[in-house]
Structure 1
């Protein structure tokens, strides 16, 4: 049996979940097609999903197409839940990108397509809602070509658009125009085909062209486009056939070493942790002891015994004795496992980090002060399911910060806490999350038993700028055996923790840290006495000294605060361009030269993330309600004007006196 892990992706309200229902109905998994409006869909299981009519959490359901078992993953479409999509991408063999025939290519559509192309995930495009008034065909195909990819080919024609009779007719071997279009597009990536066509056009049979189309689609070089309606079923048979023909189903290597990736974590009814695992090779059986680790920290592996396994099969989740290569399973018993963890070597997994981190944060507080402890427990469990919530605890002010992608996510957190944990919460105003980057190289060292160092430890650190998105690296210029490894590990862990708050309080995400000096006082005691930690170094000495040394090095290197920038695209009436440009200037946006049209014009450029919400609020008044805004995170740029600072939540190693008073109760 061949296996295919398939993702359904789309901008919100393009009909992604409805298409999932139609595919399950066609496969015989469900007896009737559920409705998002009625809240009875198979994959939207959360009460809040049914209430709002949007997907919040990724859901998995299995069905068969002939000899291929498809594990279908329905992902959120709203930009606020982009982290859920990111995690799903790491386990996909192929994808269907859904576009509304009425709304067309939207902001999230472009973000998703760019990511699918960058990760080389084979992708089919399904244009949904051809039965809706205002549906487009030829115009939308041109928009897809212009704004998503030039490597697309329509696989049929849509007729009677805008009504219940709308239909999709696949092209066949008798459609000369389709054959010519295939040759032209396939030749862009196949020199041999081009040479064959030039030498003897008749040598290229229709079947040979379809085979090459399948081969290029599986290599993510070509994106076939289908039209249809998930509500009426138009075009879905052709899409199902394309999933079987054009996407890469494989037979898993069961005899190979175990390799898998955790893309989702949830809690069971008894509060137990359940890990969703995509298996790339090998097999996991009940009672196996599994070793797992973070994809970036192989040296910090953990081990636990699998106590139960469920596998997605035929629309159900069945208890099984094992989960094998290619399958998606649910594992119990792995109490320390986290989203993004790798089982085995993780070979075959798509690298994570495809989307930008959250650029907003807010303070969350319980409505009842007595719920503070329960709130911490509840938020910790939510962070297990979505690590990018990124909790920050300010013990000084007794406040908790959560990271966000948008205001809708705030509402979801609030409702989830109320419904699942019985905790009512309030939020403070949302603020922008900046980062810091190093200006140069800095170094510092403090020696054991030498003033002003009160700790029994020697730590020397050098900080150097690192490439964007390279993360934090830690390496040694001291001998590994110069002191106990536990002390070196304490320094590394403290370095990573301290870098979450740089000179101005913002995280420093990309930096190389080198340990240049080390030293310690060996274990000793007074005569005939037990161990005396006042005479011997402990890991605590290194954990307490490292922030002081690191901050001194960072100050010497200097840091610059960067703010998140969004790329925007505005479609507005031409006669409103001047007023919109004036507003963009006030919001510190950087617009490009407008593309002026007779009635509608397009403005593109960059705008600070902090100003996007203001632009959304002002746009209807500026454009008579006709303006359409797309925006997505683009990059970080140095802050101009006053440097924003972030309140520190640590003991402030920038202030040595206060730091020592907190840590040692003395200076």
Structure 2
């Protein structure tokens, strides 16, 4: 039995959840097809999903096609939940991209297709809703070829379009127009195939054509297109046959080293964690101790695998499969279990660019709110929970305003907490502009701590993140002290000279020293004459921020790459608005009666552009955007209030640290 991990992706309302229901029904998994409108689907389990008719969290169900077990992963379509989609992409073997025959290719459709192509995930396209009034399968096919991929090929024709009786008829060997188009497309990607066809056209059989189509689809070179209706079931059998014929099953050595990734985490009624894991290599068994994340370890207490619609208990989960693992108490989304792959093979998610403060309606709920949000962050680590201990504020990161509704509903339904939000703001970052170094020596003024720490900060290329290095011997002091410095460096860089997270730098430890454990004559340990990890944790922020101040930082704001399709006669109205919003068009292309603009715009201005677009373009403008990069802020530098003890103010920092630890060192 083979396994195929298949993602269903689409712009919101294209019908992917309905398609999931239809596939489960066609495979005999469910007797009755669930309805999105009625809130009775298999995959939309959250109350808010059922209320709004949208998918928020990914869900896994399964069915069998011949000898292949298909793990079907339903993903969100709303752009605010793109992080959830990207997590799923990292575990897929193949994908079905759903496009509405009425609305056609939309902004999120383009973004998804570009991501699928970048990751080389084999993809077929299903044009849904051919039974709806206004359906235009030929226009949508042209749009797919023009806006998504020129390597699209329809595998059938449509009859009765726009009526309840709409149907798809698969092309066969007798459809010469189809075979000609197929030969032309396949020849573009395979010179050997082209040569064989030119030498002897008759030697290339229709079976050979289908075989080459399957081979190129599995390589992500071509994208077959099917037509149908998830509601009536038209074309779904052809789609199922296409999935079996054209998409590759999972690969992996079940006997190899254990390696997998956690793409979803749930908590049960008793608070126990369940990790959804895609296995790439090896086999995990119950009662087995498993390494995951950053050196954590846990014992697997239970395993479930997906079989014919639901998860069933199993003794093990192997390469290619998706399993639900219990017992890994500290596991988080994004953790690798077992052997971690090379950094080059990991997927990196676009960062959230917005932030808001979550405010409890009842002040007494502040403690419970932080605990609830901490659990929420386990299921969505990109919300980047951040607490201001001074002002007692709790911040979360966002991709869009709809996420506020999800957080609000989840806190109310799962934790009984009513909350509101403050104004959404943009998240900036800081990057060092030069190099800086500082050190403080043990038992020498003005250092009040029993530790020697020296650090150098150097800039790194954009996108490099933060790297910690040593220029001292690892054995020169206990490892726990080095670990305390490294962890504190990471934590301290969460707030730079202007309060924003510092990134794209190398921090090198240049000096180290400590006093060994000492005791009085009566053998009682005396921390006033012995170094502890607290000394290194307390001193490191002072040294690091001194080095960072010497290096200097530049605040960068997030920039989105936008693609704007507007009527040509509306160009004169849109360009001045783009200029006022500090958008920088890079390319401009006329396409008949429309104009395509591509460029960059500050993330902080995207919402205003989206709001103004309908009135500027008579409702005909189409905007798509996604985070692209950071650029230095122009004009006044934004400052974010600090939420720590502020190591930039040495006197205040030392007073607060001493008060917090309840102790005192000489020189404080």
Question: TM-score, structure 1 length as denominator?
Answer: 0.95
Q: Does the alignment pair 1:10 with 2:4?
A: no
Structure 2 residue 268 is matched with structure 1 residue 268: yes
Maintained 8 Å contact 1:459/1:549 = yes
The structure-2 alpha-carbon separation of the partners of 1:575 and 1:435, relative to structure 1 and needing over 3 Å to count, comes to same
Count of paired positions: 661
- The equivalent of 1:607 in structure 2 is 601
SS at match of 1:21: helix
Shift of 1:529: 4.6
| Distance verdict in 2 for CA 1:247–1:157, change over 3 Å | same
8 A contact 1:262–1:277 mirrored in 2: yes
SS at match of 1:371: helix
User: Hey, what's the Cα distance between the residues in 2 that align with 1:368 and 1:505?
Assistant: 29
For 1:351 and 1:246, the matched residues in 2 are separated by: 25
Q: Indicate whether 1:475 and 2:475 are aligned.
A: no
SS in structure 1 at match of 2:202: helix
CA distance in 2, matches of 1:118, 1:660: 50
Tell me the residue number matched to 1:406.
Answer: 400
Structure 1 position 286, deviation (Å): 2.2
1:297 — aligned with what?
A: none
**Per-residue CA shift, 1:392-425, capped at 9, x if unaligned?**
0000111000001111000110011111111000
| Counterpart position of 2:624 | 630
Displacement after TM superposition at 1:250 (Å): 4.2
The secondary structure found in structure 2 opposite 1:534 is helix
Matched, 1:546 2:540: yes
Asked if structure 1 preserves the Cα contact closer than 8 Å seen for 2:5 and 2:250, the reply is no
Q: 1:3, 1:252 within 8 Å by CA — same for their partners in 2? A: no
Matched, 1:317 2:299: no
Partner of 2:455: 461
Q: Which residue in the other structure is 1:156 paired with? A: 156
1:558 is matched with 552
Q: What residue is the counterpart of 1:374 in the other structure?
A: 368
Q: Residues 134 and 352 of structure 1: is their aligned pair in 2 closer, same or farther, counting only changes over 3 Å?
A: farther
> Mapping of 1:49-60 within 5 angstroms?
49-60=49-60
Please name the residue that 2:526 is paired with: 532
Contact 2:93–2:250 (Cα < 8 Å) also in 1: no
**2:416 counterpart of 1:446:** no
Work out which of the residue numbers 340, 356, 362 in structure 1 matches 2:334.
340
Q: In the alignment, is the contact (CA less than 8 A) between 2:107 and 2:622 conserved in 1? A: no
The residue that corresponds to 1:191 in the other structure is 191
| Number of the residue aligned with 2:78 | 78
Q: Does 1:659 align with 2:653?
A: yes
**1:499 maps onto 2:481 in alignment:** no
Give the Å deviation of 1:134: 2.3
User: How many angstroms does 1:197 deviate by?
Assistant: 2.5
- Secondary structure (helix, strand or coil) at the match of 1:145 reads helix
CA deviation after TM superposition for structure 1 residue 180, in Å? 2.3
Hey, what's the Cα distance between the residues in 2 that align with 1:353 and 1:433?
A: 22
Unaligned runs of 5+ in 2: none
Question: Which of these residues, 430, 433, 439, is aligned with residue 436 of structure 1?
Answer: 430
Distance 2:173 2:432 in 1: 60
Distance 2:533 2:496 in 1: 23
Taking structure 1 as reference, are residues 509 and 166 closer, same or farther at Cα in structure 2, changes over 3 Å only? Answer: farther
8 Å contact 2:567–2:620 — kept in the other structure? yes
1:102-251 superposed matches below 5 A: 102-250=102-250
Distance 1:347 1:480, change over 3 A: closer
Deviation at 1:16, TM superposition (A): 0.8
CA distance in 2, matches of 1:252, 1:524: 54
Offset of 1:202 from its aligned partner? 2.5
Three-state SS of the structure 1 residue aligned to 2:127 is: strand
C-alpha spacing 1:349/1:326, structure 2 compared with 1 (3 Å): farther
- Counterpart CA distance in 2 for 1:461 and 1:399 is 31
Question: Take 1:654 and 1:413, find their aligned partners in 2: how far apart are those partners?
Answer: 34
> Structure 2 vs 1, CA of residues 536 and 346 (structure 1 numbering), >3 Å: closer, same or farther?
closer
Which segment is superposed worse, 225-234 or 245-254? 245-254
Cα shift readout 1:500-521 (whole Å, capped 9, x = no counterpart)? 1111111123222111111111
- Do the aligned partners of 1:90 and 1:351 also contact (CA within 8 Å) in 2? no
Q: Report the Cα distance in structure 2 between the residues aligned to 1:409 and 1:259, rounded to whole angstroms.
A: 32
Q: Contact 2:90 / 2:347 at 8 angstroms: preserved in 1? A: no
Instruction: Give the corresponding residue for 1:285.
Output: 285
- Residue 502 of structure 2 aligns to a residue whose secondary structure is coil
1:340, distance to aligned residue in structure 2 (A): 1.3
How far apart are 1:543 and its partner, in Å?
Answer: 0.8
Deviation at 1:594, TM superposition (A): 4.7
Separation of aligned partners in 2, 1:96 and 1:350: 26
| Bigger mean CA deviation after superposition, 224-233 or 625-634 | 625-634
> 1:449: Cα distance to partner?
1.7
TM-aligned CA deviation for residue 195 of structure 1: 2.2
How far apart, in 2, do the equivalents of 1:87 and 1:497 lie?
A: 25
Distance 2:251 2:588 in 1: 51
Deviates more, 1:233-242 or 1:400-409: 233-242
2:251 and 2:280 in contact (8 A); partners too: no
Q: Is 2:298–2:328's contact at 8 Å kept on the other side of the alignment?
A: yes
Does the residue aligned with 2:605 lie in a helix, a strand or coil?
Answer: helix
Q: Secondary structure at the match of 2:86?
A: helix
Cα distance in 2 for residues equivalent to 1:349 and 1:240: 35
Kept after mapping to 2: 8 A contact 1:463/1:512: yes
Q: 1:627 to 1:328 in 2, by over 3 A?
A: same
Q: 1:348 to 1:491 in 2, by over 3 A?
A: closer
Which residue, out of 477, 484, 494, partners 1:490?
A: 484
Aligned to 2:380: 386
Q: Are the aligned partners of 1:311 and 1:323 in contact in 2 as well (CA < 8 Å)?
A: yes
What are the Cα deviations for residues 585-637 of structure 1, in whole angstroms up to 9, with x where unaligned? 22111134654567544433222111111122223333334433222222211
Deviations 1:445-478 (A, max 9, x none): 2222222211111111122222332222111111
CA contact under 8 A between 2:565 and 2:623: conserved in structure 1?
yes
Q: Distance in 2 between matches of 1:98 and 1:354?
A: 24
Contact 1:86 1:352 in 2 (8 A): no
Query: Counterpart of 1:647?
Result: 641
Q: Which moved more, 1:272-281 or 1:575-584?
A: 575-584
Q: Does structure 2 retain, via aligned residues, the 8 Å contact 1:259–1:342?
A: yes
**C-alpha separation between the residues in 1 aligned to 2:436 and 2:210?**
59
- Confirm or deny: 8 A CA contact 1:120 1:220 kept in the other structure: yes
Moved more, 221-230 or 601-610: 601-610
In the other structure, the counterpart of 2:38 is 38
Question: Secondary structure of the residue that 1:64 maps to in structure 2?
Answer: strand
Over 3 Å counting, the alpha-carbon distance change for 1:352 and 1:571 in structure 2 is same
Cα distance in 2 between the residues matched to 1:521 and 1:350: 41
Say which is worse superposed, 168-177 or 263-272, in terms of deviation: 168-177
Aligned to 2:89: 89
The match for 2:415 is: 421
Aligned 8 A contact 1:90 1:349 in 2: no
How far apart, CA to CA, are the structure 2 residues paired with 1:550 and 1:496?
10
8 Å CA contact 1:89–1:350 kept in 2: the answer is no
Distance in 1, Cα, partners of 2:54 & 2:360: 26
